[in-house]
Structure 1
Amino acid sequence: MNHFAYYVDIVPVKKHIDDHLARTPNIVEVYRRIISMYVYTLHHAINLKSLPAFAVSIYEKEVIDPHSPNTVRIQYKLRVFGKKEGAVVNLVHVLNKFNTFQKSSNISEVRSVPDDVNKWEIVQRVRIPPVTSGNEEALALANAIKNDPNNNYINLLTSSSKAKNKRLIRYYYTRLTVDRDNLTSKLDGYGFSRKNKKVCIPLF
């Protein structure tokens, strides 16, 4: 039996994507911005309503860039996992009250994770070390994280950001595929594994 047994998918609606592309002709950043807002709002909703922790996975796919002949990789779907069906149903009820999800997303019905899952993944935060002038080792590690094709990032508001002084941070994460559900730790505040800890979610 899977530790996280139920899930919902959250995907941006096409009109919302098209509206953003009309203003910002960069499909990768448009999808990243919207998925980032979903994760941030999910985190806010969980804290506001004192909901249990949920695990998240950001799905990616390759598409043709509408403004060039190039193929690019976009973050196109957020999958949210919960341990109990009732908790996920309640989460959807809460999310549907937020403008972020009302206006820009389609939230699927609550579904059960298939019984025949034989692969799991760990979606884990990757922290970039502080880079100070002259610290070549830290700079090399930071560049390696940024350039690793297995890593990606979303943009999140810092907890200290105010309405008139919004500051974004890049929240890097990586995905590791494993053969068993080896849950070992709690989630961080945004639904990912904490640094050096593992939280497995079904891969299907």
Structure 2
Amino acid sequence: MKFIYSLFVIQLLFVVSAFSQDFDFFYFVQQWPGSYCDTQKSCCYPSTGKPAADFGIHGLWPNYNDGTYPSNCDSNTPFDRTQISSVLKRMKSEWPTLACPSNDGINFWTHEWEKHGTCSESVLDQHSYFQTALDLKHQTNLLQALTSKGIKPNGESYTLQSIKEAIQESVGYTPFVECNVDTSGNSQLYQVYLCVDNSGSSLIECPVYPHGKCGSEIEFPAF
């Protein structure tokens, strides 16, 4: 009987451990609005008006070390606007939507929570998930990292290496830079990925990087 009980305890501990470690790290992704808008698809400003000329949050995405990721993990915890009431003002300015037609951002945040956030519930509830992303934005301050090295959103081109080095020197970790293409077909700085441990508390070196590459020279468009 004691053996059976011990075996049950071991199995239970294994299940709890597996649940608490249901992903390996986060991608924290920030987006340059000028690059989102300067494509053939274009953009729409939020119903609150044009966002500030700063990187906006795209998302905080749980990932596995093999490059795959979980998604839509819990349909029983849908997005609840009341959970972010204390940070709603910051959400509107720091996590703005640029999708068309113009809207207040709720659809964007709903998508991010339900696809990605529900997969991190073992460590972050809904309020903590959004609060953590907002705090990471302030901690990393990408625009300051770039402009302090003379890399400014003025439509000029800069080397990919100089952009990565400026961010790495500022935040202490190697970023992944994603590009898109402007209306003239030029490569431009679009999104910056940094990695965060699976508690959401500390930046780390990325175990794996997303697919995709930029040219050696990329534009940093105005917004």
| TM-score with structure 1 setting the length | 0.29
Relative to its length, the structure with more strand (as a share) is: 1
Greater Rg, structure 1 or structure 2? 2
| TM-score with structure 2 setting the length | 0.28
